[in-house]
Structure 1
């Protein structure tokens, strides 16, 4: 909607102007109007109005009529939509990455002032300082694409950056020493049995003999264990929500939902722990026969996940044991499975990897004992 008006210029000549309604700004919710002057005829003014209406229809409000946001402002709008498409734990992790690495470099900049050259500079810096730099590049590109969708910018400056590649691919692989061989595991478990609480002994027995993730272990309930069939069901995992608090969510991938067989000794140890826990809970007025309690819990009755880290570090240091992380027991289980003769497919299914490539990439490091056996197997086979 627009109207044309004739007016007199300072030099006394006649000209035409128009005032046009452009629509509602989707960002502010306010009406937008524009006034343009200097047309010699009504026909020129009408032509300009038609051209303007077409531009608004195709490209949105003209830049001069729109407030250009900062990257920080755009990020806030984008993240509100993005977090609905991923799990809470992923939202927590990605928001942390953005706040730690991206916003300090881009946050205060106006979107139309962000150039490809500037983006390239940050990409090069991330390449040198951040292990998962590809993730930061992808997040920045997504945010700027949202700005393009909102007509804040006409093109995405991240689209033309050159992405560096690491020459040494081993830098992204796991620590090859973050697992125990058979003898080290035996020593660790014996020391644990003698000097730690029974719950911690059971925790690491389950981690080492099933290969489940620490989050999956923390979310285990007694209803997940079938003592008759000697099986363990993985149905959920513990993760951080957007506020940094632990909660239960669906497992990491579709393949993470799985049914695991348990060895007889681990079953007996779990039974013993259940009876011990039942007595402890009974003293507190809680009957675990009626309530679906967690198999493991911290001193406050909550998830044990965070307690495992600190305990393991203190314990290995105190008793001069090789350092290892909780995830290292997953590596240990995989390595010993390979050493015992399990196939790649069997290891993949037991660990809940979505594809076999993950199993091959992450667990190609086998124990020293297995590597030594390789040469012996060959010599025995050729027999000369």
Structure 2
């Protein structure tokens, strides 16, 4: 360390004439309880030979500031980087891990850093980052969202916590920290949203209040209405696949013609297309190992894809030399692969003009699972179709029981009881009539009291 540091008192009062803060010159600082205590600690000179100065403030008493200064004078803190502001470390950590992340993960990390962690914890030194301070930051996130009328979900909070934990675990591996203050936070628990069906009652409620479920799927009739309404759209085949086969957005964008076997009527998922900063596209493996799969196609979907291929050939002829032979199934009018966000924006525009209740593009994946369940598919088959690692995800998160399926189940259950009752009635009718119990008892008594014949 260079220098021993100083302790001083200042406040936020402003001069009534200039409007500037008085800082250390406020005459009220002599009064007990006015202002707060600060510390300043000189650092090593920077590359341009300027002396950096570490300043911390907001201490309630001079003693608190003195204890903090004594701790910060520890030369070990400067050597291992513990005096680094949290914002600086988070930026360094993100730059280190970003090249190895999927595009979606990188976007999530960056959003967590920019919207939450840096604004709330960025000025804290790593050595001063405590569990209580981190808990306070997350409590602030919850309060701000609640006051804005858009409560944050427990799952989102846990993802933000996971981002901070990963960054601080990296600091532990570097020897900067010894414990992770982002562990064991007390976060509110909210139930995971399960997909519900856009029944007539829910549609009426949405039309009346504008409120919609977190995850909602169309009924078979609504899905058919949507697809019929966009049958002339150049991306009809893509949304047809999303709705019936449940592909992920990036999987549909990354399809190439050699992934489709028109003879065997199958489609192979071996990659996905993701979007990084500034629209740059990147080919990535599927989300999980189970995501690499072969999906069976019905004859109607084969016809839809054949029609789409013919349309693409016409577009290639129209584009001439501007056409790019990318081998992607779904492209723009010049053969270039589609950006995933363009697919999502186009879908939302089509939904708005359809007059149907709103769903997200990913909700089509939930809907495809529900349609397969209604069609009588086994859950294991649906799991393989969607590329889930466990059947629990398929059963608990992705499938909804459509109304007609529920009614059929109720009728089938009642039929079991009715059939059992008929069987019992039939058995009773075919049983031989029994003699009256009293007659039997009387006869038995008579036999038992007969006088034996003398020899």
TM-score, with structure 1 as normaliser: 0.75
Q: Equivalent of 1:367, from 402, 408, 427? A: 402
Partner of 1:138: 162
Alpha carbons of structure 1 residues 62 and 283: separation in structure 2 relative to 1, 3 Å: same
Matched, 1:185 2:223: yes
* Post-superposition offset of 1:69: 0.5
Is 1:224 the counterpart of 2:273 in the alignment? no
Q: 1:230 touches 1:264 (CA, 8 Å); kept in 2?
A: yes
In structure 2, distance between residues paired with 1:287 and 1:258: 34
Name the counterpart of 1:5. Answer: none
Query: Structure 1: how far apart are the matches of 2:287 and 2:330?
Result: 20
For the 8 Å contact 2:255–2:269, the answer to whether it is kept is yes
For the Cα contact (< 8 Å) 1:234–1:258, is it kept in 2? yes
Aligned length: 320
Q: What is residue 111 of structure 1 aligned with on the other side?
A: 126
Aligned to 2:327: 293
8 Å Cα contact 1:253-1:354 kept in structure 2: yes
Q: TM-score, normalised by structure 2?
A: 0.64
Structure 1 residue runs without a partner (length 5+): 1-24, 29-59
Query: 1:59-138 maps to which residues of 2 (within 5 A)?
Result: 62-63=76-77, 68-83=83-98, 85-127=100-142, 129=145, 130-131=152-153, 132-138=156-162
- How far off is 1:176 after superposition? 5.2
Cα deviations by residue, 1:17-47 (Å, 9 ceiling, x for unpaired): xxxxxxxx9xx9xxxxxxxxxxxxxxxxxxx
Listed one character per residue, the Cα deviations across residues 71-90 of structure 1 (whole Å, up to 9, x for unaligned) are 11211332243335533432
Q: Provide closer, same or farther for how the CA distance between residues 243 and 200 of structure 1 changes in structure 2, counting only shifts above 3 A.
A: closer
Between 318-327 and 120-129, the greater mean CA deviation after superposition: 120-129
Larger radius of gyration: 2
Is the contact between residue 195 and residue 217 of structure 2 (CA under 8 Å) also seen in structure 1? Answer: no
| Offset, 1:212 | 0.8
In the TM superposition, residue 234 of structure 1 has moved relative to its aligned partner by: 0.6
Q: State whether residues 272 and 286 of structure 2, in contact with CA within 8 Å, keep that contact through their aligned partners in structure 1.
A: yes
Is the CA contact 2:87–2:118 (under 8 Å) kept in the aligned structure 1? yes
Contact 1:223–1:292 (CA under 8 A) maintained in structure 2: no
Shift of 1:352: 0.4
The answer for the alignment partner of 2:181 in structure 1 is 157
CA pair 142-317 structure 1, distance change in 2 beyond 3 A: closer
Q: 2:266 & 2:75 partners in 1: Cα distance? A: 62
Runs of 4+ in 1 over 6 A off after TM superposition: none
Farther off after superposition, 300-309 or 245-254: 300-309
Residue 306 (structure 1) aligned with residue 306 (structure 2): no
Q: Secondary structure at the match of 1:238?
A: strand
The Cα shift of 1:362 comes to 1.0
- Which 5+ residue runs of structure 2 have no aligned equivalent? 1-43, 48-73, 146-151, 199-215, 422-455
Structure 1 position 149, deviation (Å): 3.6
Q: 1:326, CA displacement in angstroms?
A: 1.6
SS of 2:217 mapped into structure 1: coil
